[in-house]
Chains A and B, each alone.
Chain A
Amino acid sequence: SQQGEEDPQALSIQEGENATMNCSYKTSINNLQWYRQNSGRGLVHLILIRSNEREKHSGRLRVTLDTSKKSSSLLITASRAADTASYFCATDVKGGADGLTFGKGTHLIIQP
């Protein structure tokens, strides 16, 4: 079963705009991670946020975590055409077996 669910499933914006993707999960976590996947390629780790953290930044990326709502958001500022990709959240479930549990992803298209 899917632990994380991204919203929206697809998002199309103009270059230069900000893109926001959301992830909801069901059970308590140790950390939550975001990955990017370009078409036909493997996943690339973007950022990890621990359960005791509320916000984290990395370059143009900003991730928030609300453990009370079991949700996270990924904000990409000043989007570029190269940001076109699918974005996945993944959770490390507290007390769970090894292995991250991935959501189904948000497909982001940046229009030039």
Chain B
Amino acid sequence: NAGVTQTPKFQVLKTGQSMTLQCAQDMNHNSMYWYRQDPGMGLRLIYYSASEGTTDKGEVPNGYNVSRLNKREFSLRLESAAPSQTSVYFCASSEGRTGIYGYTFGSGTRLTVV
């Protein structure tokens, strides 16, 4: 099935642990994004990649790093997890800046930091 695949779907971390959230798309999209969704806050942009080899900060980048490994894959790394990073993380991709068809989202990673 074409789309955006995120792994893992659920994760529990202890404060200070690190982990990488994986995202892959098979639609040949140039742009990829990482958002976090918190109750009552909507979605907030963490990082984005307009094309292979480029990454830029979004609204809430502190505590995160990203890697655009190739055109298909865009990973999000938490180097030292904090309880404030408990959230649902969504990866998305688009054809061009926003794309005439909008964004395609993955199903999300629910992360709990204890």
Contact = CB atoms under 8 A, between A and B. Distances in A.
B33 A99 contact: yes
Interface in B63-81: none
A97 interface: yes
Interface in A1-21: 1-2
A10 B112 CA distance: 26
B107 to A, nearest CB: 5
B102 interface: yes
Q: How large is the interface on A (under 10, 10 to 19, 20 to 34, 35 or more residues)?
A: 20 to 34
B58 A103 contact: no
Contact of A45 (B43, B56, B59, B101): B101
Nearest to B97: A98
Contact of A104 (B31, B42, B100): B42
Contacts of A88: 42-43
A92 B98 contact: yes
A68 to B, nearest CB: 22
A27 interface: no
A95 interface: no
Interface of A: 1-2, 30-31, 33, 35, 41-45, 48, 88, 90, 92, 97-105
Interface of B: 4, 31, 33, 35, 40-45, 48, 50, 56, 58-59, 90, 92, 97-98, 100-108
